[in-house]
A and B are shown apart, each in its own frame.
Chain A
């Protein structure tokens, strides 16, 4: 079975560094981009199995990227995990409403994140 791929869309370098290590250590192939438009380009180039998507991004919000993924016939089935530093319930509801499969609020424990990623990719492969 081929290695699962994850696209990390995160504009903050420090958290991206940590997430890159965490996701890599969990055994997934990872690509990181730092803006909404770069995410769209990356998605057009290669379809990942999972997108870890920050909400607050330059150019296009994570909500919009998620919407575009769900609207695209090819990309529609990709699992989306949204992450945000905003802790409001309404943000979580909006994220789920635009099509996210899961939503996590920063800060989160590394173990919780990898567990969530594993669960989503297990569903994806099922």
Chain B
């Protein structure tokens, strides 16, 4: 009881009560003593009363004065010290405690400052350790990301139940719209991989940790992938597996094409060769051949020779096609090759910068050009050297120009015979040209002399400024059970999407002209996993609609139909909860086309309009613009009313509303859908 009371009363009040009690108690004692003295000794009562009043009031005054001094010099400084210590204990405040405020408390304030200094030092040491560790982890993360991103083979790490938790760019190139937390079987025909996994498991039981090979087709059947799968073990438990693979489509088809070509060539050559042989033999061995028969046989030989030549021409062209398909060079920037030439040569070369990309062995080409440049400048008869690139129809020609003495093909051939670099052993410039299936030659025109080296152009690499896609998530939640309603919202994958249409009436003949989607996994918006396609609506787009979304008839002319785009979008949404701003509108368009698409959009659906209505008041503004304003989400004006711009904004708003929903106690998908149902009824009543 007393303990509770002391806790409730402040320190200063307790001290005041203490001095009050002291004064009052003293006054009561004085009064008691005077009453006792009067009863024993008698005498005039006034004297006792006056003495009692003076003594009692004096004591009360003294107690009050000492109490005030005590409050000012002890109670307040103690409270100030306590407050300072609490602040420093709870927040990272690195200031000394003012000892002047507690000068009457002897060494208490210096002692508090000593504690504060020790605390600050401990915090600084911990902060330094955290920074060191953070920097180390950041370095390792950057190394890991670069390694995986630029690995020449596709790499996928999957959970034991075969959901993707990491992939690299090559895997994305090979498997298409791969995404985190999505089943591997959506991208790869699973049977061969399952077989390899089963062999891997059996080997593991025998105590062998091995990688097993597989040859599997991509889910769309367009590619064959040859790869290895190996286990990831953590404390002897299988925590996933790594798949490393490369595109074997070209290898397999080129191998088959080679076989086919050889068989066809043998047949194509044997037939005319056999006929020519037979006809020649008859002509030489039969002396009394009638002139008309002899003429027919000669004509026959000529016809067969023509067939033979045509056969060789045909096979030569087909062989060139097969060879060119097997070209495995990676994209290299022309500017990178030119920088390499400059690094390998002392010559003063004027370089015309180029944005073009080559499919070549950049080091070999740069070394080869530097070698030619060295020979060009060795006798001092040439100057005004320059390097430039000309791009034309799938080809980029590197041009090494100069003024002065010309160069013969014989000189060039001699220069190219020498080994290119110690790094390449005996590999010569001529070998490098052969490997690139090209050649170089000298030309002379009015502007001077030049050497031309044609190489295959390559597609530009990803721009360095591209958004860093989310390629991995090692904390994927467990796979959703059969009862999605019971799943925590935080464990679900979402596809936020938006459509642009020809109008507002799906049943009145309006059609989709664009679909955009964005995935959210583990609460993260995956900006690297997007779906964005124009759709050919098969009808004219009214100009009023074009004014809103800026999509014209010309833009959708070559776009896929809703049947094709819808299938791809359905694949993209597999296993995810669909989210849209005013979802019933977008879904109505998709569901009306389900028969044409051949798929059903039966994923659970959340609508950000209804979520907003549930979270905020029932009659407020719930437009996308209003929600963006409320959550501080900025949509660039040029992105507003584009399917992807609105999708990104909806996704940003949605993840913020998910947090609010969970704070409100709605933590499962079922809970969120029930909440939406309640809002639907209210909104219907309000004519929503």
Q: Is B173 an interface residue (CB 8 A)?
A: no
Q: Mark A80-120, 1 if CB is under 8 A from B, else 0.
A: 00000001111101100110000001011100000000000
B420-458 toward A: CB 8 Å interface, digit per residue (1/0)?
A: 000000000000000001110111100000001010000
**How distant is the Cα of A90 from the Cα of B441 in the complex, in angstroms?**
10
Report the Cα distance A71→B316, complex, angstroms.
33
Residues on A with C-beta less than 8 A from B309 are: 107-109
Given contact pairs A87-B316, A109-B309, A71 touches B441 in the complex (Cβ within 8 A): no
- The answer to whether the Cβ of A124 comes within 8 Å of any Cβ in the partner chain is no
- Asked if B439 and A91 sit within 8 Å, CB to CB, the answer is yes
Task: Convert B282-324 into 0s and 1s, putting 1 for each residue whose CB lies closer than 8 angstroms to a CB of A.
Answer: 0000000000000000000000011011001100110010000
Chain A residues near B438 (CB-CB < 8 A): 90
Binds B, one of A8-16, A24-32, A46-54, A56-64: A56-64
A61/B442 contact (C-beta < 8 A), A68-B408, A88-B320 known: no
Are B320 and A87 interface neighbours, CB within 8 A? yes
- Which residues of chain A have C-beta atoms less than 8 A from B443's C-beta? 97-98
Q: A87-B320, A107-B309 are known contacts. Are A64 and B409 too (CB-CB below 8 A)?
A: yes
| Residue of B306, B312, B313, B409 touching A98 (CB-CB under 8 A) | B409
Chain A residues near B306: list those with CB within 8 A: 109
Instruction: Kindly identify which residue among A60, A90, A108 contacts B439, using a CB–CB cutoff of 8 Å.
Output: A90
Closest Cβ of chain B to A104, distance in Å, is: 11
Whether B316 and A67, one on each chain, are in contact in the complex, defined by CB atoms closer than 8 angstroms, is no
CA distance A66 to B313 in the complex (A): 25
Chain A: residues with Cβ within 8 Å of the partner, total of 20
Kindly state the separation between the CA atoms of A39 and B685 in the bound complex, as whole angstroms.
Answer: 101
B265 at the interface (CB under 8 A from A): no
Q: Which residues of B have CB within 8 Å of A107?
A: 308-309, 312
Residue B410, interface by CB 8 Å: yes
Assess whether A97 is in contact with B409, with CB atoms less than 8 Å apart. Answer: no
B443 to chain A, nearest CB (A): 6
Interface: B413 (CB within 8 A)? yes
A98 CA / B439 CA spacing, docked (Å): 13
For B413, the chain A residues whose CB sits under 8 A away are 61, 64
Given the interface contacts A91-B439, A97-B452, A108-B309, does A64 sit within 8 Å of B320 by beta carbon?
Answer: no
Q: Does B409 lie within 8 Å of A93, measured CB to CB?
A: no
With known contacts A60-B410, A61-B409, A90-B437, A67–B312 Cβ distance under 8 A: no
**In the assembled complex, B406 has its CB within 8 A of some CB on chain A:** yes
Task: Flag if B320 contacts A98 (CB, 8 Å).
Answer: no
Give A87 to B454 CA distance when docked, in angstroms: 17
User: Complex formed: what's the CA distance from A107 to B640 in Å?
Assistant: 64
Minimum CB–CB distance from B57 to chain A (whole Å) comes to: 121
Which single member of A61, A90, A91 contacts B454 (CB below 8 Å)? A90
Q: Could you tell me the distance between the alpha carbons of A107 and B306 in the complex, rounded to whole angstroms? A: 10
Residues in B with CB closer than 8 Å to A64 are 408-410, 413
**Which residues does chain A contribute within 8 Å of B444, judged by CB atoms?**
71
> Nearest chain B CB to A58's CB is how many angstroms away?
12
In the complex formed, the residue of B with least CB distance to A96 is B441
CA distance A97 to B449 in the complex (A): 12
Report the separation of the CA atoms of residues A4 and B413 in the bound assembly, to the nearest whole angstrom.
33
Interface readout for B14-37 with A: 1 if CB under 8 Å, 0 if not?
Answer: 000000000000000000000000
Q: Tell me which residues across on chain B come within 8 A of A87, comparing CB atoms.
A: 313, 316-317, 320
A108 to B316, CA, bound (A): 13
> How far is B687's CA from A89's CA once the two chains are assembled, in angstroms?
73
Considering only CB atoms, which chain A residue lies closest to B317 in the complex?
Answer: A87
Distance between A59 CB and nearest chain B CB, rounded to angstroms? 9
The residues of B that contact A63 with a CB separation of less than 8 Å are 409, 441
B312 proximity list for chain A (CB < 8 A): 107
Instruction: Please measure, in the bound complex, the distance between the C-alpha atom of A7 and the C-alpha atom of B320, giving whole angstroms.
Output: 32
Question: Knowing A107-B312, A108-B309 touch, does A94 contact B410 (C-beta < 8 A)?
Answer: no
A88 to B454, CA, bound (A): 13
Q: Are A98 and B441 in contact (CB under 8 A)?
A: yes
- Bound CA span A75–B406, Å: 17
A70 closest partner in B (C-beta): B444
Q: In the complex the two chains form, what is the Cα distance from A64 to B309 in whole Å?
A: 28
Contact of B408 among A67, A88, A90, A94 (CB under 8 A): A67
Closest chain B residue, CB of each to CB of A88: B320
Residue of A whose beta carbon sits closest to that of B413: A61
- Chain B residues with Cβ below 8 Å from A94 are 439, 441
Write out the residue numbers on chain A whose beta carbons fall within 8 Å of the beta carbon of B313: 87, 105
Residues in A with CB closer than 8 Å to B305 are 109
Q: How far is it, in angstroms, between the C-alpha of A90 and the C-alpha of B313 when the chains are bound?
A: 16
Name the residue on B nearest A62 (C-beta): B409
Chain B CB within 10 Å — which of A71, A91, A97 has the most? A97
Q: How far is the CA of A86 from the CA of B514 in the complex (A)?
A: 51
A89→B317 CA distance, assembly (Å): 9
Q: How far is the CB of A95 from chain B (nearest CB, A)?
A: 9
CB proximity of B398 to chain A, nearest CB, Å: 14
Chain B residues with Cβ below 8 Å from A98 are 409, 441-443
CB distance from B335 to the nearest CB of A (A): 24
CA distance A67 to B413 in the complex (A): 14
- A108 vs B308: C-alpha distance in the bound complex, in angstroms? 10
Which B residues lie within 8 Å of A71 (CB)? 406, 444
Residue of A whose beta carbon sits closest to that of B316: A87
Contacts of A88 in B (CB 8 A): 320, 437
Say whether A93 contacts B410, CB under 8 Å. Answer: no
| Residue in B317, B437, B441 whose Cβ sees the most chain A Cβ within 10 Å | B441
Contact indicator B320/A97 (Cβ below 8 Å):
no
A94 and B409 CA atoms in complex are apart in Å by: 10
Q: State how many angstroms separate the Cβ of A61 from the closest Cβ of chain B.
A: 6
Nearest CB in chain B to that of A71: its residue:
B406
Q: Look across to chain A and name the residue whose beta carbon is closest to the beta carbon of B306.
A: A109
Closest chain A CB from B172 CB (angstroms): 34
- How many Å lie between the Cα of A64 and that of B406 in the bound state? 12
Minimal beta-carbon separation of A35 from chain B (angstroms): 13
Assembly CA distance A107 to B437 (angstroms): 22
In the complex the two chains form, what is the Cα distance from A92 to B622 in whole Å? 69
Judge whether B454 and A93 touch: CB under 8 Å.
yes
Flag if B409 contacts A89 (CB, 8 Å): no
A55 to chain B minimum Cβ distance, whole angstroms, is 10
**26 pairs from A and B in contact (CB 8 Å cutoff):** A60-B410, A61-B409, A61-B413, A64-B408, A64-B409, A67-B442, A71-B406, A87-B316, A89-B320, A90-B438, A90-B454, A93-B454, A94-B441, A97-B441, A97-B443, A97-B452, A98-B441, A98-B442, A98-B443, A105-B313, A107-B308, A107-B309, A108-B309, A109-B305, A109-B306, A109-B309
- 17 more A-B residue pairs beyond the given contacts A61-B409, A90-B437, with a C-beta to C-beta distance below 8 A: A60-B410, A63-B441, A64-B408, A64-B409, A64-B410, A71-B406, A87-B316, A88-B320, A88-B437, A94-B439, A94-B441, A105-B313, A105-B316, A107-B308, A107-B309, A107-B312, A109-B305
A binding-site residues for B, Cβ under 8 Å: 60-61, 63-64, 67-68, 71, 87-91, 93-94, 97-98, 105, 107-109
Chain B contact residues, CB within 8 Å of chain A = 305-306, 308-309, 312-313, 316-317, 320, 406, 408-410, 413, 437-439, 441-444, 452, 454
In the A-B complex, the 5 residue pairs with the closest CB atoms: A87-B316, A63-B409, A64-B409, A64-B410, A94-B441
